[in-house]
Structure 1
Amino acid sequence: MTATTRLANPESPSGSVSSVKSFNTAKPIQGAPERKPRYRSTPAPYLFVAPFVLLFVVFMLAPMVVAIYQSFFTVKRSGLGFTGGRQTLFAGISNYLTAFHDHEFMTSFLRVLMFGVIQVPIMIGLSLVFALLIDSTLVKFKKTAQIIVFLPYSVPVVVAAIMWGFLYQPGVSPIVKGLKSIGVTVSFLSPQTVLWSVGNVTTWCWVGVNMVIIFAGLQSIPQDIYEAARIDGAGEFRIAWSIKIPMVMPSLMLTVLFSIIGTIQLFNEPSVLQSITGNVTAKYTPAMAVVNVTSQQNNQNLGAAMAVITALITLVLSLIVSAIQQAAAKKEARS
């Protein structure tokens, strides 16, 4: 066994006590099984995770599987819809070929990609500016400023689109009338500007939540870094450019990823404006094209193929953004 003893040193004139180091005299017993720690399994973690897993399977995984399955079939009807039957046939990739040959559907992807290239940087840039201002010493009433910027996000997107649609209509819009009174004629719903009118609604709705994500990242930066920078003579702009923005880059990339996914899935804003202007067609965005083919044209199989194509393009863009983020993180780690 292990023991530690303290012995009186007889050679010491003061009779001091010397310490003897620990030593181990225990010998392992041959053939004795090793004792392993026992872990009691409890159902508590599974009970906490179960609601999320159930909702994910029912509302996300199952519809995806059903959509992929339906995209490989087609329905043929006979008898002019009166006495004929309805037959489901395996179609292979014919639905996908039909979707790729649909000019309006493919044009909708180019439209939302152009929308994302311009609108997403503007929205993320505004969110970053607001987050930096609130985090700086320039803004005194920080909580009030956060509420003001975040408040549009609390308004449902459909309600926001209806409100902005009222402000876009030439006959009743105070903005259009005010600009016309000073000699500026503008049409927010023309074929050239309606897409950017949609972008204005989207930016107004989502700047606040992106600002909160970036601001949360700023709050995780140690204050000692700021104090050291101020001692070295750095101002607020220099601190923001050299310290805050590089250290909050993961939060920025997260908002960019969410914004790209939302851009491909753009639906509510143009759908509301469709009832106001004829310049927003039924297949103005990929999501609107899927709904139109599925509900208006009553072709669930073709709509499922379009939905799968939309999901795959969203996945590819998300992977590209993630790869860029990982490459930047590795480059920063090496430097």
Structure 2
Amino acid sequence: MATVPAAAPARPAPARRRRRGPILPVVLVAPAVALLLLFTFAPAVYAFVLSLLRVHVSGGLLGTSTETVFAGVANYASTLADPEFWASLGRMLLVASVGVPSVLILATLFALCLDANRARLTGFSRLAIFLPYAVPGVIASLLWGFLYLPATSPIGGQFIDYFGNTTIFFAVANVAIWGVLGFNMVVLYTALQSIPRELFDAAQIDGASELQIAVRIKLPMIAPAMTLVALFSVIGALQLFNEPTTLKPLTNAISSTWVPLMRVYSDAFVNNDIYGGAASAFTLLVMTVVATVLVNVVGNRLSRRSAR
């Protein structure tokens, strides 16, 4: 009989190596996350803590002793009950009603014009439209302030009162639009450049005009980028501060509490009510988050509808 060779001893199964994700994305994102936590979330938490406090004065009529005590929601109740807070919010919304649609429409129009087949000097045009974004907001407001003043205005300041009670909203909105239009145009132009050119060639073969291509192909495909531009514009409108503050010394139409952030600054650093100012600031922060979520939800729904 043939002998059966003995079976070789079974080798132990190699230990499975744990797959680790790429470390480079984490390293690249870490500085941005650290800055976000340090300069956004930490100040927000600190402002919320301050908003729950108040100064208690004791010592009779002389008020010889002060101490910081817990105030609960008293500062928020005072802010929400202040008619000037709602008036400043209304003025801010009036500026936003002019600025946000104008930025979205003009940025889209400029981006479509630069992306057209017959466009010429696109490099120079992009730089010319984007250049105002590189100018700091305070300097831009000063420049436009001199353009608005009747004594120095080359744009009809002798005949048009740019600092009137009604025209001041358009004057402030114009400065804000001029400063951010170029950045938003670049965002939309970049989105247009990412669309495959074959789609446009096929549409032209089918007899579509440049306008039809822009309306039926380009606009639906850059709808997410348009939502992003609208989001940037709404956040910028809620943070309106530099333009009215810089123009304030030039006109009586702008008060020290003309917009909510000016009211926060006045309460905290002029009236020395740091706790009331913190409550107003955190209230405005909550409104900004709510507005951001609403714009994002509405924009995403419109984007999905346009993609169908």
What's the TM-score, normalizing by structure 2?
0.90
Distance 2:228 2:19 in 1: 37
Letter in 1 for 2:236: G
In the TM superposition, residue 58 of structure 1 has moved relative to its aligned partner by: 1.8
SS of the aligned residue for 2:214 comes to helix
Distance 2:199 2:208 in 1: 11
8 Å contact from structure 2 (residues 115, 192) kept in 1 = yes
Match of 2:246 among 252, 263, 272: 272
Match of 2:90 among 102, 107, 110: 110
Q: Which moved more, 1:196-205 or 1:49-58?
A: 49-58
Q: Which residue of 2 aligns with 1:62?
A: 42
SS of the aligned residue for 1:275 comes to helix
In the TM superposition, residue 176 of structure 1 has moved relative to its aligned partner by: 2.4
Q: Which residue of 1 aligns with 2:4?
A: none
In the TM superposition, residue 138 of structure 1 has moved relative to its aligned partner by: 2.6
- Is 1:52 equivalent to 2:54 in the alignment? no
Q: Which residue of 1 aligns with 2:103?
A: 123
SS of the aligned residue for 1:303 comes to helix
Q: What are the equivalent positions in structure 2 for 1:209-224 lying under 5 Å apart?
A: 209-224=183-198
In the TM superposition, residue 70 of structure 1 has moved relative to its aligned partner by: 0.9
Q: Which residue of 1 aligns with 2:56?
A: 76
1:171-230 deviation line (CA, Å, top 9, x unaligned):
2212225xx5xxxx3100011111110001011111100100000000010000000000
Q: What are the equivalent positions in structure 2 for 1:4-83 lying under 5 Å apart?
A: 35-39=15-19, 46-78=26-58
Q: What are the equivalent positions in structure 2 for 1:188-227 lying under 5 Å apart?
A: 188-227=162-201
1:128-171 deviation line (CA, Å, top 9, x unaligned):
11100110023211101101111111111110100000011112
Match of 1:286 among 245, 260, 269: 260
8 Å contact from structure 2 (residues 94, 169) kept in 1 = no
- Is 1:159 equivalent to 2:139 in the alignment? yes
- Seen in structure 2, the aligned counterparts of structure 1 residues 286 and 31 have a Cα distance that, compared at 3 Å, is farther
Distance 2:283 2:242 in 1: 20
Letter in 1 for 2:140: A
In the TM superposition, residue 32 of structure 1 has moved relative to its aligned partner by: 6.1
In the TM superposition, residue 286 of structure 1 has moved relative to its aligned partner by: 0.9
Distance 1:129 1:329 in 2: 18
In the TM superposition, residue 37 of structure 1 has moved relative to its aligned partner by: 2.6
Q: Which residue of 1 aligns with 2:276?
A: 302
Larger Rg: 1
Distance 2:276 2:254 in 1: 22
1:260-317 deviation line (CA, Å, top 9, x unaligned):
0000110000000001111101111111111110000111111111011101111111
Q: What are the equivalent positions in structure 2 for 1:176-187 lying under 5 Å apart?
A: 176=156, 180=158, 185-187=159-161
In the TM superposition, residue 43 of structure 1 has moved relative to its aligned partner by: 6.8
In the TM superposition, residue 55 of structure 1 has moved relative to its aligned partner by: 1.8
Match of 1:246 among 220, 233, 252: 220
Q: Which residue of 2 aligns with 1:230?
A: 204
Distance 1:42 1:319 in 2: 31
In the TM superposition, residue 118 of structure 1 has moved relative to its aligned partner by: 2.3
Distance 2:58 2:257 in 1: 28
Higher-helix-fraction structure: 2
1:46-82 deviation line (CA, Å, top 9, x unaligned):
5444422332222111111111111111012345998
Identity percentage over the alignment?
A: 36
Which structure 2 residue ranges, 5 or more long, are not aligned? 1-8
- Seen in structure 2, the aligned counterparts of structure 1 residues 119 and 45 have a Cα distance that, compared at 3 Å, is closer
Which structure 1 residue ranges, 5 or more long, are not aligned? 1-28
How well do the aligned residues superpose, as a CA RMSD in angstroms?
2.3
Distance 1:63 1:243 in 2: 44
Letter in 2 for 1:284: W
- Is 1:90 equivalent to 2:70 in the alignment? yes
Match of 2:79 among 99, 119, 135: 99
SS of the aligned residue for 2:160 comes to coil
